[in-house]
Chains A and B, each alone.
Chain A
């Protein structure tokens, strides 16, 4: 239906630059998620695309047309707000009808369209209810319905699920994903919840302080974080990061890395690190193995049992804290010693500037990228 292109978009409030030059091309029917910590500018960027914020510099193109100065209603975009922003004094039907009525659509056409959308979203029984009489999930659906009836070229979602409880959020996530498959509309979705990002996105854009840290598919970000920020941000529990030093490089590309009491050799591609430099060793909690013969020793301080998995917080002999993810049948208790080994092929290595060094190992789904 539509492509969206951002060309070096910038936003300046007074003297402070909030969005520092973002370029991005979104293809037709793509589901793109903006993630980042609060204050990273993701919502501002979305509002700039919606037309609710002025664009200070750069170009915004929808279907190849520059829409920087086009009125929000004429951009062909529809937005679902975090607070839903339903009109409280209008019933569900009137909420969805509002934009169509303003556009001067004939009554019969409006009725038909709203009927169709209400059926898709299972809102038929609630058409004459007011938003105040609906539950959170129903309000959410009305807000989505209000966006759909306009038949927009691009859907914008601003943290739409953050006001729902955990169970409903999971359910709405699935509904949104299947709705996207069904409508096939180009979608831009802002969230701070990485589960939403990982599960729904075709591509994720990680933002930090107004710049793009990395753009890629969910698995790409998870397995090939471009820098420490992305490594830290994607994944829960977060990746363990240990300050390290590269001791030596063997001719076959193994880097001997020392991080406190931990010593590992990591396979790297050539042209990687140099011996003697400082950096950071990263390893995800699920890639640390409990091993009675392991070289790494520590003490379990807390064990979080989530049922399916167990998270062990371990204090290493050199005082560093790491998190180990293991099965739900784990029996290690707090204040007991433990021995660990690192899955060396899963280790990440970052240089002194926090940029990732190329890795040899990869996820099977990523091999064709």
Chain B
């Protein structure tokens, strides 16, 4: 009797059919988002993979056909490719070093009380609001131009010979320009992080006999470590694909001295019209980005754990 009474409502419920129709409903409601993802990321990815395996050059679109791995072979054995990888690494590493290093020091500085701090903070953050193209043009034509640039005028004023930065030191100059754009971001994140540092902790360190340097190393830096990891991760993702600055200032030159991976792909596709080769470069770029991202995410996860 009792058992039957317990089982009765279970058998009565129309479980199977209801669940199936709910599942269909859920799929229908999710489908716009899934479609969007398909159209915007999966389809281009598949097309890139497809083109990377084909002979496809816009100079002669009639010559088509399956290329096998020859696009990849051609790319990987090209000395320009290695140079571009190296340049990418220098660009990312250099900008990270400058923006995080200087950013930490500036964040500490702007956390102190001084007259006009509010205005100074706005000024230090403002480069972030300038478009990359505009920033690059500004640097190229107003600041660094060997004839009418501000720095050239300053150098002439003290009797020095102006330097044609973009042709003499193209990559270093690019690192400087991009660092100028990204320094505000680092300062902004690190400044907000530093503001959450408990003042009593600093006072306790002071009573323990820590001077300014010891406080910075033992209290401030460990407090900032999470924020620094986040800055490194976000900046790396964007710095791997720096393009506008290169295109506007050096166009990857002289030669390939300032060509990074993103610019190499661009030049393959739209300067040499080799869609197949560019697609192979794109696939390599995806692989590189994923390797870097995997390392970064692991580092961040470890840092955020404790």
Chain A interface (Cβ < 8 Å from any Cβ of B): 50-52, 72-74, 77-79, 81-83, 85-90, 98-99, 102-103, 130, 132, 146, 150
A99 and B204 CA atoms in complex are apart in Å by 10
- For residue A156, give the distance in angstroms from its CB to the closest CB of chain B: 9
Please name all residues of chain B whose beta carbon is closer than 8 Å to the beta carbon of A72 when the two chains form the complex: 206-207
In order of increasing CB-CB distance, the 8 nearest A-B pairs are A73-B209, A99-B208, A85-B200, A85-B204, A89-B222, A102-B209, A81-B200, A72-B207
13 contacts between A and B (CB under 8 A): A72-B206, A72-B207, A73-B208, A77-B207, A87-B219, A88-B222, A89-B223, A98-B208, A98-B218, A99-B207, A102-B208, A130-B306, A132-B306
**Which of A51, A85, A150 gathers most chain B CB within 10 Å?**
A85
Please name all residues of chain B whose beta carbon is closer than 8 Å to the beta carbon of A74 when the two chains form the complex: 209
A52's contact among B201, B203, B219, by CB below 8 Å, is which?
B203
Please name all residues of chain A whose beta carbon is closer than 8 Å to the beta carbon of B210 when the two chains form the complex: 73, 98, 102
Known: A87-B222, A102-B208. 8 other contacts (CB 8 A): A73-B208, A73-B210, A74-B209, A79-B203, A89-B225, A90-B222, A99-B208, A146-B204
Please name all residues of chain B whose beta carbon is closer than 8 Å to the beta carbon of A83 when the two chains form the complex: 198, 200
Q: Please, which residue of chain A has its CB at the minimum distance from the CB of B211?
A: A102
B214 at the interface (CB under 8 A from A): yes
- For residue A50, give the distance in angstroms from its CB to the closest CB of chain B: 6
- For residue A335, give the distance in angstroms from its CB to the closest CB of chain B: 50
Contact between chains at A85 and B201 (CB < 8 Å): yes
For window 215-251 of B, CB contacts with A under 8 Å fall at: 218-219, 222-223, 225
- For residue B254, give the distance in angstroms from its CB to the closest CB of chain A: 47
- For residue B266, give the distance in angstroms from its CB to the closest CB of chain A: 44
A78 and B205 CA atoms in complex are apart in Å by 11
A81 and B200 CA atoms in complex are apart in Å by 7
Please name all residues of chain B whose beta carbon is closer than 8 Å to the beta carbon of A130 when the two chains form the complex: 306
Q: Please, which residue of chain B has its CB at the minimum distance from the CB of A99?
A: B208
Given A73-B208, A98-B218, A102-B210: A87 in contact with B201 (beta carbons within 8 A): yes
Contact between chains at B206 and A52 (CB < 8 Å): yes
A81's contact among B204, B214, B223, by CB below 8 Å, is which?
B204
**Which of B203, B204, B210 gathers most chain A CB within 10 Å?**
B204
A52 and B201 CA atoms in complex are apart in Å by 12
- For residue B82, give the distance in angstroms from its CB to the closest CB of chain A: 40
Given A82-B200, A89-B223: A98 in contact with B205 (beta carbons within 8 A): yes
**Which of A77, A78, A79 gathers most chain B CB within 10 Å?**
A79
Please name all residues of chain B whose beta carbon is closer than 8 Å to the beta carbon of A85 when the two chains form the complex: 198, 200-201, 203-204
Please name all residues of chain A whose beta carbon is closer than 8 Å to the beta carbon of B223 when the two chains form the complex: 88-89
Q: Please, which residue of chain B has its CB at the minimum distance from the CB of A89?
A: B222
A99's contact among B201, B209, B219, by CB below 8 Å, is which?
B209
Contact between chains at A73 and B207 (CB < 8 Å): yes
Given A85-B198, A87-B219, A130-B306: A73 in contact with B203 (beta carbons within 8 A): no
**Which of B200, B208, B210 gathers most chain A CB within 10 Å?**
B208
- For residue B304, give the distance in angstroms from its CB to the closest CB of chain A: 13
